[in-house]
Amino acid sequence: MIAGGRRELLRIAMPWLAMAVFLIVWELVCVVFDLPEILLPRPTRVFEVFFQRLDILLAFCWDTLWTTVLGFLFAIAGGVVLGLLIGASPLVYSGLYPLLIAFNAVPKVAIVPILMIWVGVGATPAVITAFVISFFPIVVNVATGLATIEPEMIDVLYSLGATRFEILRKVGIPRAMPYLFASLKVAITLAFIGSVISETVGGNRGIGFLMLSAGARNDAPTTFAGLFAIAIMGVAMYAVCALVEQRMTRWAFRGQLVS
């Protein structure tokens, strides 16, 4: 019993331990090989700068965060609608799916300059890039959820006299929910990539812009502090999505709940 409790404690501590080991090895490598700060700053130095410049970092983080989340919310809205359409109608599927794949294959860095011609510099291209990049996994997952409904379930509903819309509402949407929430974890991380790409290629705000300008000044510790900030935001938003997933689709986690 005590051994089990310790094991559980260890399981919870593992990610933190792994991170600590990673940072210590990094620090040691820097000290042992006497690496210049401009090449690879020591983590302790990065943390120092992180707290020195916390006010700027927070302000720029906020820019990145809200553009990311806004783009992500648009992606959810658009992705759910298009995913339902594609999953429910074979015609829409065959028409739009090749287009979607082609669209997804285009490197998103390439569209940022175009966006800037259209909408200018700043938050708008960041929101759009975050939207565009996180849209695809949501569409695919929602459509998959619909496409994998048991045919017998549909037969039961049809023979009760259900319309296609009723089948979508009673079975399709609940069935697609776990797929949707699973895709959100992937999509939010991609959304961060999108907004930071946009800020780096042509922004005047946000963490991407901060890192770019710090890099141009050879200020490696600040660049790394920016990286840390993005990583922290990414993990935090992932955790939020995972929590929402568990709350919203309890039945899909039934393996862990039956007792």
Q: Give the binding site for another protein (CB under 8 A).
A: 150, 152-153, 155-162, 166, 170-171, 174, 177, 249, 251-252, 254, 258
Q: Minimum CB separation from another protein for residue 206, in Å?
A: 39
Q: Minimum CB separation from another protein for residue 166, in Å?
A: 6
> CB-based contacts of 136: which residues, under 8 Å, 6+ apart?
79, 100, 103, 104
Residue 163 or 204: the one with the smaller Cβ distance to another protein is: 163
Residue where the block lists tokens 């042509």: 202
Rounded to whole angstroms, the Cα distance separating 108 from 60 reads: 22
Q: Minimum CB separation from another protein for residue 159, in Å?
A: 4
Residue 48 or 166: the one with the smaller Cβ distance to another protein is: 166
Q: Minimum CB separation from another protein for residue 145, in Å?
A: 12
Here the tokens at position 139 are 């569409």
Amino acid at 173: I
Query: 10 Å Cβ neighbour count for 252?
Result: 15
Q: Minimum CB separation from another protein for residue 257, in Å?
A: 9
Q: Minimum CB separation from another protein for residue 227, in Å?
A: 41
